[in-house]
Amino acid sequence: MAEKKRISVRIAGRFLTVVTDEDPASVRRIEHTLNERVEEMGKASPRMTTRDGKIDAVILCAFEALDRERTAESRIAEAERRAAEQEERFRRLLEEYNRITAGGAVRESGDDTRDRNAEEARYRETVKRIRERLTAIRDGGTI
């Protein structure tokens, strides 16, 4: 675990001390970005140029950041859910494929040519369906 550092920053004209294990350069980038955003808000509203207005601007920036974080977390959760669904679909297809290929030895051991031909046609059709399903999964479709 990285050692905590105390870094002084100036946000909206106020000096603050940040205690963090982040790289000081990263903290400086955040400080710069936040001050730029506060300045943009000041240009949009004269009230945001006052001392209290700047504090309000910082609060709005925090609100926006938390909203973006919540949105990102929601998107991540949805992507993880979809990935789990695709993984389950792939697992089922793999099981079906393994059943088919395990049945190959039985298919080859049949004595009747017509039965073997019919079994071979079913086998090829099933393999074709599996390939189509795997392609759909790869391309983001559904089964």
User: Is 72 a member of any domain?
Assistant: yes
Number of domains in the chain: 1
User: What string of pLDDT tens digits covers the 143 residues of the chain?
Assistant: 678 999 999 999 899 999 999 999 999 999 999 999 999 988 888 888 888 888 899 999 999 999 999 999 999 999 999 999 988 888 888 888 888 777 654 444 445 677 777 877 887 888 788 888 777 777 776 55
User: Is 9 a member of any domain?
Assistant: yes
Report CA Rg, the chain.
Answer: 30
Burial of 48 (0-12, 13-18, 19+ CB in 10 A): buried
pLDDT in the model for residue 103: 63
User: Is 134 a member of any domain?
Assistant: no
pLDDT in the model for residue 29: 95
User: Is 104 a member of any domain?
Assistant: no
Please tell me the pTM assigned to this model: 0.55
User: Is 119 a member of any domain?
Assistant: no
User: Is 102 a member of any domain?
Assistant: no
User: Is 105 a member of any domain?
Assistant: no
pLDDT in the model for residue 93: 85
Collapsed DSSP state (helix, strand, coil) of residue 6: strand
H/E element, 86: helix 51-102
Q: How far apart are CA 44 and CA 40, in angstroms?
A: 6
User: Is 38 a member of any domain?
Assistant: yes
* Boundaries of domain holding 38: 5-80
